[in-house]
Each structure stands twice: as C-alpha cells, then as structure tokens.
Amino acid sequence: MIVFTGGSSVGERDLILDLLEKRGKVLFHGIMIKPGKPTILGAVGGVVVLGMPGYPTSCLSNGHLILEPFLRKMTRLPARRRETVEARVDQRIASMIGRHQFRPVKVEDGHAQLAFKESGAITNTSEADGYIEIPADVDLIEKDEWVTATLF
C-alpha cells in the first residue's frame, strides 16, 4: 500500500488523480465527508494507493476513519474500538446538509468545545481530544445539545 498526504484534490499541483488515471485504476475520488472530501483510492500494478488531503485536520480524520481501519483489515487485526463520552456542546454548530461532518472538539467537565480554527491549522488537532460526528441530514446542533464525542 502507498499512502499520499496531499495532492489528492484537483488543483494544479494535485497529481495523484492524474497518476492513477495514467498508470493504474481509480476506484473512487471524493467522499461526502468534511473534512476529507478529496480522498482518492486506486491501484497501480496490484498496489493499493490511498491519496488523502494535505490539510492537517482532513488528514487526521482520514487517518482515523479510513487508513487505520484499512490497515487493520489488511493485517488481520481486529477493529479498534474507540472510547466515547457524552457531552454538551458549548456553542451552536451550523452544518452542511449532504456531507457527513467530523468536527474536532476539546472535552472538559462534560462539555465539548469546537477546536476548529481553519482547514490548514495544525492546532485544530493538537488541541482536540476527539471529534463529534454530524450526520449528512443535520444542519444545526443547538448550544447545550448532547453529542457523542469519539476520543483519539
């Protein structure tokens, strides 16, 4: 397996899609999650190629949601069960209908506070204890609403 971080989108410097189209096979490009939409999976000469977004938050999310389970399956290890905690959100959170979202949070004293600053900020992940999932059909989580935080 080859894993790339960065280069999976469709910009001028994103070359993984072109590489897979010319040298191998594209199995999928783009998934309906945020962060991490420009994920790509393909194969070249029997070798699996995973292209993950370069932004730190997107890459970490994909590492937890896609890469780790894939590697565990390849190596015949059991699926990892992550610890979860129930917490109330400290602020109102608007979401996009149509994309499943994973938002990094810091959890303290039963409260979940968003740890997101901007897509390219490494502090999104360094200050987070885990993430909350927002389903694709939810557009708003109200302040003080209970959520499940999955810990890193």
One digit per residue, pLDDT tens: the chain, 152 residues?
999 998 888 888 888 999 999 999 999 999 998 888 899 999 999 999 999 998 888 888 899 899 999 999 999 999 999 999 999 999 999 998 999 999 999 999 999 999 876 666 777 678 889 999 999 999 999 999 999 999 98
At the top level of CATH, the class of 2-74 is alpha beta
Q: Where in the chain do CATH 3.40.980.10 domains reside?
A: 2-74
Calculate ∠ Cα 139-80-129, nearest 5°.
55
Span(s) in the chain for CATH 2.40.340.10: 84-151
User: Under CATH, which architecture does the 84-151 domain have?
Assistant: Beta Barrel (2.40)
In this prediction the pTM is 0.82
